[in-house]
A and B are shown apart, each in its own frame.
With several copies, the nearest count.
Chain A
Amino acid sequence: MKKIINDPARFVDDTIEGILLAHPDWLSPAGNNRSLIRKSGVPKGQVGIATGGGSGHLPVFLGYVGEGLAHGVAVGNAFASPSARQMLAVTRGVNAGAGVLHLFGNYQGDSLHFEMAAEMAESDGIRVVAVKASDDIASAPPAEWQSRRGVAGIFFAYKLAGARAAEGADLDAVAETAHYAVANTRTLGVALDACTLPEIGHPNFSFADDEMEIGMGIHGEPGLERRTLMRAEDLAATLVDRILADLPFANGDEVAVLVNGLGSTPVEELYILYRSVAPLLAERGIAVHRTYIGEYATSLDMVGASVSVLKLDADSRRLLDAPARSPFFQQSGAGR
């Protein structure tokens, strides 16, 4: 294992300590460092957005706490859900009287803990609505899309719901926007090599030298198929074909595209992938309004990438274009 760490058991806490030192104006601990709230707070009467999940996915989840994004985050161990107690602390911390959106990825551990936290928060009188990202088309058939795993596409849910909350919308409206984002985002990825959890010390599974896996989950969950390495052009076609068939996207649609690196894939390769994604969308009459290319949701040092496509309407386009800012993601309003 080649990592810049101290004690593997301190991986998460050391990371958070570093983040708090590096960006002193950004986050405050709610109780302890594993429950963090935006220092700028939630304006009175604004809906709070609480998120959380396992560590090892930066910028997910913590990096999407910021202006025009979420308000607080519960941080779990590497690839492991945080606890209900942490989520409750965050939920209380981001409640400014207008209720709280629980926005997280659809994994059972996270769901169970967020449900426990929601029950407890509700007995405090805080209204909570939960929306789960479930964009990974490799993990269930289209009819069961709500049981799919949440992957990089959660970025769009943060972006849209965060902008809607910042506009002052009420909890149902913010939840509706989050729901729009998760219902209209489709992601498919590919892994070329496994990642190593610090406390495990070796990869959890192995790949042959010329092997890739289409649809592998961000924790190494099994995907759709193992196959020999493909050219970027062929890979793009495989991913785009399946993504477009899934929603389905149609001629005349306008979309945003996220090409995400899983941790160890150079950004050069993400652009090489996008080079072939763009004409495939154009061919089918799908217009790209905005692209996001880089590391938006990682899996430690996994090698691979994913493509996410969000179908836009007038509202979501406005919300996508709104400014946002955290140390991990910045977007000024104008330009692309």
Chain B
Amino acid sequence: MTPFSLDAPAVRAAIMKATTDLEVATGQLSALDAAIGDGDMGLSIANGCRAIREELPPESADIAALLSEAGLIFSEKAGATIGALVGTALIRAGKSVRSKTTIGLPDLATMLLAAEQGIAERGKAQAGDKTLLDALIPARLALEMAIARGTTVDGAVEAMLTAAHGGVTNTAEMVAKFGRGRYLGERSRGHEDAGATAVYLLLASLATRAE
């Protein structure tokens, strides 16, 4: 088993794969968003993903620049809440690994934390508000814990995914405090959050590459 390490072309390839995988989930994500929101999230993400694949500069040795550019493109082409939040997250994740030429597992944790903070700053939500953060925070925490324990790469990635999935499941018990779901109040309970699901799918896509 090789130690986890991605250079710029590998990051680029991971972005290409993740955007493809997420676009495949358009219907699933829109259906989740429709249950307590307006049903556009799958399409927004698909638009953003397609644009990244089409517009991301082909050659780049700079991981931070790749992620920043992907964030700008996504925020522009996805639009909507998800565009601003994921766009901000990608830009912040890029900034957090500025000047690195390869990223290892601890860098992934750093990037997830930066993404989390960017989303919280822009969107004002906290853990438990039934948002992206409710998949992202447990995933990041599980990854940090696995790294601290010296778990294998496979084990750490699996722990991260399991935590993200658990986070998605937990959102079903939450009442939405942000986004369109909040208009539903108590009625938003019983539905898993679309944004959190997208975070899980994104991490799962990255994981099949990372293994």
Q: How far is the CA of A31 from the CA of B22 in the complex (A)?
A: 29
Closest CB in chain B relative to A114 CB, distance in Å: 10
Known: A205-B34, A217-B183. Contact between A112 and B43, CB under 8 A? no
Q: How far is the CA of A11 from the CA of B158 in the complex (A)?
A: 41
B40 at the interface (CB under 8 A from A): yes
Interface of A is mostly: loop
Return chain B residues, CB-CB under 8 Å to A82: 79
Decide if B83 touches A109 in the complex (CB within 8 Å): yes
Decide if A116 touches B39 in the complex (CB within 8 Å): no
Decide if A220 touches B83 in the complex (CB within 8 Å): no
- In the complex, which of the residues B47, B83, B183 contacts A221, with contact meaning CB atoms closer than 8 Å? B183
Q: How far is the CA of A197 from the CA of B34 in the complex (A)?
A: 12
Q: How far is the CA of A12 from the CA of B155 in the complex (A)?
A: 46
B70 at the interface (CB under 8 A from A): no
Known: A80-B80, A84-B84, A219-B38. Contact between A149 and B183, CB under 8 A? yes
Q: 1/0 contact trace for A50-87 toward B, CB 8 Å? A: 00001000000000000000000000111111111110
Q: 1/0 contact trace for B122-134 toward A, CB 8 Å? A: 1100000000000
Decide if B180 touches A200 in the complex (CB within 8 Å): no
Q: 1/0 contact trace for B39-80 toward A, CB 8 Å? A: 110011001000000000000000000000000100111111
B98 at the interface (CB under 8 A from A): no
Decide if A77 touches B79 in the complex (CB within 8 Å): yes
Return chain A residues, CB-CB under 8 Å to B47: 77
Closest CB in chain B relative to A77 CB, distance in Å: 6
Decide if A112 touches B84 in the complex (CB within 8 Å): yes
Known: A108-B81, A113-B84, A200-B39. Contact between A83 and B179, CB under 8 A? no
Q: 1/0 contact trace for A121-162 toward B, CB 8 Å? A: 000000000000000000110000000010000000000000
Closest CB in chain A relative to B56 CB, distance in Å: 16
With an 8 Å Cβ cutoff, the count of chain B residues facing the other chain is 31
Return chain B residues, CB-CB under 8 Å to A78: 40
Closest CB in chain B relative to A199 CB, distance in Å: 5
Q: How far is the CA of A82 from the CA of B80 in the complex (A)?
A: 7
Return chain B residues, CB-CB under 8 Å to A220: 38-39
Decide if B75 touches A81 in the complex (CB within 8 Å): no
Q: How far is the CA of A199 from the CA of B83 in the complex (A)?
A: 18
Q: 1/0 contact trace for B168-211 toward A, CB 8 Å? A: 00000000001110011001000000000000000000000000
A222 at the interface (CB under 8 A from B): yes
Decide if B123 touches A200 in the complex (CB within 8 Å): no
Return chain B residues, CB-CB under 8 Å to A85: 72, 75-76
Q: How far is the CA of A82 from the CA of B44 in the complex (A)?
A: 11
- In the complex, which of the residues A109, A197, A219 contacts B84, with contact meaning CB atoms closer than 8 Å? A109
A228 at the interface (CB under 8 A from B): no
Return chain B residues, CB-CB under 8 Å to A116: 75, 84, 88, 122
Closest CB in chain A relative to B195 CB, distance in Å: 11
**In chain B, what residue has the closest Cβ to A113?**
B84
- In the complex, which of the residues B30, B178, B184 contacts A200, with contact meaning CB atoms closer than 8 Å? B30
Decide if A109 touches B75 in the complex (CB within 8 Å): no
Residues 76-97 of B contacting A (Cβ, < 8 Å): 76-85, 87-88
A204 at the interface (CB under 8 A from B): yes
Decide if A83 touches B75 in the complex (CB within 8 Å): yes
Q: 1/0 contact trace for B14-39 toward A, CB 8 Å? A: 00000000000000001000100111
Return chain B residues, CB-CB under 8 Å to A197: 39-40, 43
Decide if B183 touches A108 in the complex (CB within 8 Å): no
Return chain B residues, CB-CB under 8 Å to A112: 81, 84-85, 122-123
Return chain A residues, CB-CB under 8 Å to B43: 77, 80, 197, 199-200
Interface residues of chain B, those whose CB is within 8 Å of chain A, are 30, 34, 37-40, 43-44, 47, 72, 75-85, 87-88, 122-123, 178-180, 183-184, 187
Extra contacts, 4 of them, besides A112-B123, A113-B83 (Cβ < 8 A), are A76-B79, A82-B79, A83-B79, A108-B179
Interface residues of chain A, those whose CB is within 8 Å of chain B, are 54, 76-86, 107-109, 112-113, 115-116, 139-140, 149, 197, 199-200, 204-205, 217, 219-222
Sampled A-B contacts (25; CB under 8 Å): A76-B79, A77-B43, A77-B47, A80-B40, A80-B83, A81-B81, A82-B79, A83-B76, A83-B83, A84-B75, A84-B76, A108-B178, A109-B81, A109-B84, A112-B81, A112-B122, A115-B122, A116-B75, A116-B84, A197-B39, A204-B34, A219-B40, A220-B38, A221-B38, A221-B183
